[in-house]
Amino acid sequence: MWKMITVVLNYLATTLRIIADAAILLLKRSLKLYRPVQCCCQNRVRGKVVVVTGASSGIGFAIAQDLASKGARVYLAGRNIKTGQDTVLKLYKKTGNPAIHFLHLDLQDFSSIHSFVKSFLKCENQLNILVNNAAVFHHPAGLTTDQIEITYQTNYLGVFLLTSLLQSAIRQSSNPRIVFVSSEAHKLVTLQDLVAFKPRQLSPLTTFSDYVKIYGISKLALHLYSQHLVESLPGVYIGLTNPGNVWTPIYRHSWRSWSLKHVLIRLWCYIFMRDAQEGAQSTIHALNAQNPHSGQYINSFMVGEEKQPYDSSLVQRLVADSVFLTGLPCSCLPQAAVVTGFDGS
Distance CA 73, CA 125 (A): 13
Q: Read out DSSP for 65-102?
A: HHHHHTT-EEEEEES-HHHHHHHHHHHHHHH--S-EEE
In the chain, what are the domain boundaries? 40-331
Distance CA 300, CA 286 (A): 11
**Is 0.85 topped by the overall pTM?**
no
For 171, what's the count of Cα atoms within 13 Å in the CB-facing half-sphere? 10
Among residues 152, 156, 211, 215, the one annotated as catalytic is: 215
In terms of Cα–Cα distance, which of 219, 230, 157, 163 is closest to 191?
Answer: 219
**pLDDT tens by residue, the chain, 345 residues:** 676 777 667 777 777 766 665 565 555 455 444 456 777 788 899 999 999 999 998 889 999 999 999 999 999 999 999 999 999 999 999 999 999 999 999 999 999 999 999 999 999 999 999 999 998 877 788 999 999 999 999 999 999 999 999 999 999 999 999 999 988 778 889 999 999 999 999 878 888 788 889 989 999 999 999 999 999 999 999 999 988 666 555 555 554 555 655 556 566 555 555 677 787 888 999 999 988 889 988 876 666 777 778 999 999 999 999 999 999 987 655 454 444 334 445
CB 79 within 8 A of CB 104: yes
Which residues make beta-bridge pairs with 118?
none
**Class of the CATH-defined domain 40-331:** alpha beta
Is 215 among the catalytic positions?
yes
CB 222 within 8 A of CB 153: no
Report the Cα 97 to chain-centroid distance in Å.
25
